[in-house]
Amino acid sequence: MSTVVEELDSIGERRFEPKAKDINEDIAWAKINTDVLRSLERPRPIFWVIFLSAVALFGVGVACEIYQYKTGLGVAELRNPHVWGLYISTFIFWIGMSHSGTLLSAILHIMHADWRKPIYRFAEAMTTFSLMTAGLFVLVHLGRVWQFYYVVAYPNERWTWPNFSSPLVWDATAIGSYLTTSVIFLYFGMIPDLAICRDSATGFRRTFYRLLSVGWQGTDRQWSNFRITYLTIACLLIPLAVSVHSIVATDFAVSQQPGWHTTSFPPYFVAGALYSGCAAIITLFIILRHTFRFEEYMTIPILEKLCKLTFAISMVWTYLNLIEYASTWYGTDVYAKQALIYRATGIYRYWWWAMNFLGSVVPFALAFKALRTHVPTMMVVSLLLNLGMWIERFMIVTPTFAHGYYPWTWSDVWWPNWIQIGIVAGSFGWFTLLFMLFCKIFPSVSMYEVKEMVYHRIRARK
């Protein structure tokens, strides 16, 4: 009997043995301020390297877009069955990327997972900027972009409305609301930190932060209002995030084409979105940690937790992916089955197998502690995962065009040309540009939440 008790005790002890800490709780509040504010002033030189490459890439994208806008979409070598090309694939990619910011900042906020605190700010910024990038693709792919506002439901003198049964109208509405709410959420959560910036800045920066911090004094009343509002917006944002990618999925699921007309698309898209978003957060985590010397805040245990989360989501995605294959394979829809076989054996087969490998096999690297805690490996793995997720979107859109219902269009071999690739590259430049500017102008680690985290941990220790 006694041995059992001893054994139980030892298990208990093992369970409570001290783990690596998410954050050093003895870190002084003043030091938190200095460390984070320093990021607004003097980043490592690599910051400028990244920034300038982003500007260059963006320049390439703008040049391609101007040429395409002037001449017509034909220069992108889009053609009859392949009417969307890379634009819509990359649009889904960017929309997907926006989801994990909300996961970290809103869902984990409600679940009181406090390890999110040092990293949610940049994740939320990532949400906002990737949504803005996705919005650009909608405009880039339109034939008559100067009339994009026809899609928006607004009362007008022509007495006309958009077609409410079209998923693109749902898209415009959902993305519009999600972007607005994310921007408000990002800004609102930043107000106490902007006040800290205001207090330590001088000159025009002081005016800038003073205007943005809207008279924040840190009184009890302000804090209590702030908390309630923050929680309310967080609750509002979660259903929006889920609905946005479900609606993007309905762009395909509502259509009739083989390979798109799939009931499981909405959850599949949401899982894929969280997956690519988490992988992108790991990438940006590592970049920021190095560029702005945030090693004390973006610690390895937090990276580990992030990796575990990504691994869990990658398995959900894999499951939904396999379900889609299985339901198509054993289903009665011969066209969908043919489309699936075409993906695996047609001209896009290497891409398809690469997507399955990168999406479902590579994440197993995250299951090993030695790999998880090794920063350069994680950088490579997270980039590979995101590459896999980009290919996934390419594999959803393109093979269906190449092998749809109509045999007359089957022999068509189509690859994106340099205009499309240039615009896609430009979108990465645009995103990095916005993101790096944000990190330079605004505190990318939430100072007040890190202080809160430290405070709660000290109290728990006592």
Partner 1 sequence: MSLDNLISNWSKLRVRRPQVDQYKDSPYKWAMVIDLDSCTGCNACTTACYAENNLPVVGKKRFLEGQAMHWLRIERYWGEGEESTQEFPEQGAAFLPMMCQQCESAPCEIVCPVGATHHTPDGLNSQVYNRCIGSRYCSANCPYKVRYFNWYNYPESAWPSPLELQLSPDVTVRSKGVMEKCTFCVQRLTEAKSKARTEKRNVQDGEVVTACAQACPTSAIHFGNIADSSSTVAKMWKAQQVELSADKQKKDMKHEKMPAASEVASGVGASVEAEKLRGYRVFEELRTYPSVVYLERIRSGEV
Least distance CB 152 / partner 1 (angstroms) = 10
Residue 135 within binding range of partner 1, rule CB under 8 A = no
Helix (H) / strand (E) element for 135: namely: helix 120-141
The CB-of-164 to partner 1 minimum distance in angstroms stands at 7
Pair of tokens at residue 205: 């920066």
Judged by CB under 8 A, which of 2, 17, 19, 160 binds partner 1?
160
- Examine residue 415 and tell whether it contacts partner 1 (CB under 8 A): no
Question: At 315, which helix (H) or strand (E)?
Answer: helix 300-329
Among 27, 53, 114, 167, binds partner 1 (CB under 8 A): 167
For residue 137, the Cα-to-chain-centroid distance in whole angstroms is 16
Name the 3-class secondary structure at 154: coil
225 or 255: CB nearest partner 1: 255
Following DSSP, what letter does each residue of 397-422 receive, concatenated?
HHHHHHTSS-GGGTT------HHHHH
Interaction between residue 403 and partner 1 (CB under 8 A): no
Reported as type and span, the H/E element at residue 430 is helix 418-441
Q: How far is the CB of 80 from partner 1 (least distance, A)?
A: 5
Q: CB nearer to partner 1: give 91 or 448.
A: 91
Binding window for partner 1 (CB under 8 A); candidates: 162-170, 227-235, 351-359, 432-440:
162-170
Tokens 């259903």 appear where?
239
Q: Are 248 and 264 in contact (CB under 8 A)?
A: no
Q: Whose Cβ is closer to partner 1: residue 301's or residue 346's?
A: 346
- Give φ, ψ of 165 to 5 degrees: -90, 0
Provide the 10 A C-beta neighbour count for residue 410: 13
CB of 148 to partner 1, least distance (A): 6
Our CB check for partner 1 shows the closer of 32 and 169 to be 169
Question: In whole angstroms, how close is the CB of 408 to partner 1 at the nearest point?
Answer: 5
Q: Does 254 bind partner 1 (CB under 8 A)?
A: yes
For residue 243, the Cα-to-chain-centroid distance in whole angstroms is 15
Q: Which of 62, 132, 168, 387 binds partner 1 (CB under 8 A)?
A: 168
Name which position in 25, 114, 296, 412 contacts partner 1 (CB under 8 A): 412
316 makes contact with partner 1 (CB under 8 A):
no
Closest contact distance (angstroms) between CB of 159 and partner 1 is 4
Nearest to 346 by CA among 418, 401, 384, 387: 401
332 lines the binding site for partner 1 (CB under 8 A): no
Of the candidates 1, 407, 459, 461, which one interacts with partner 1 according to CB under 8 A?
407
Number of residues this chain uses to bind partner 1 (CB under 8 A)? 50
**What minimum distance in Å lies between the beta carbon of 273 and partner 1?**
21
Please tell me whether residue 331 binds partner 1 under the rule CB under 8 A: no
For 190, 252, 280, 321, the CA distances from 122, given in Å and listed in that order, are 11, 31, 11, 29
Helix (H, G, I), strand (E, B) or coil at 66: helix
Cα distance between residue 340 and residue 458, in whole Å = 55
Binding mask 35-74 for partner 1 (x = CB under 8 A): ------------------------------------xxxx
Q: Which is nearer to partner 1, 56 or 151 (CB)?
A: 151
With 0-12 / 13-18 / 19 or more C-beta atoms within 10 angstroms meaning exposed / middle / buried, residue 26 is exposed
Name the minimum Å distance from CB 41 to partner 1. 45
| CA distance linking residue 81 with residue 73, whole number of Å | 14
Which helix (H) or strand (E) element contains residue 290?
Answer: helix 265-291
Is 77 near partner 1 (CB under 8 A)?
yes
Question: Nearest distance from residue 140's CB to partner 1, in Å?
Answer: 11
Binding of partner 1 by 172 (CB under 8 A): yes
User: What's the rounded Cα separation, in Å, for the pair 351 and 344?
Assistant: 9
Does 259 bind partner 1 (CB under 8 A)? Our answer is: no
Contacting range for partner 1; rule: CB under 8 A; set: 215-223, 240-248, 405-413, 449-457: 405-413
Q: Tell me which of 43, 61, 81, 118 binds partner 1, using CB under 8 A.
A: 81
d(CA 205, CA 355): 46
Instruction: Name the phi and psi angles at 370, rounded to 5.
Output: -60, -40
Tokens of 24: 């050093």
Residue for token pair 């004094």:
217
* Residue 238, CA atoms < 13 Å, CB-side half-sphere: 14
Beta carbon of residue 174, minimum distance to partner 1 (angstroms, whole number): 13
Question: Which range touches partner 1 (CB under 8 A), out of 10-18, 139-147, 198-206, 299-307?
Answer: 139-147
> Which 3-state string (H, E, C) describes 247-275?
HHHHHHHCCCCCCCCCCCHHHHHHHHHHH
CA distance 65 to 88: 15
Q: Does residue 404 touch partner 1 according to CB under 8 A?
A: yes
Nearer to partner 1, 209 or 401 (CB): 401
> Which residues here bind partner 1, judged by CB under 8 A?
71-74, 77-84, 141-145, 147-148, 150-151, 155-169, 172, 251, 254-257, 401, 404-409, 412
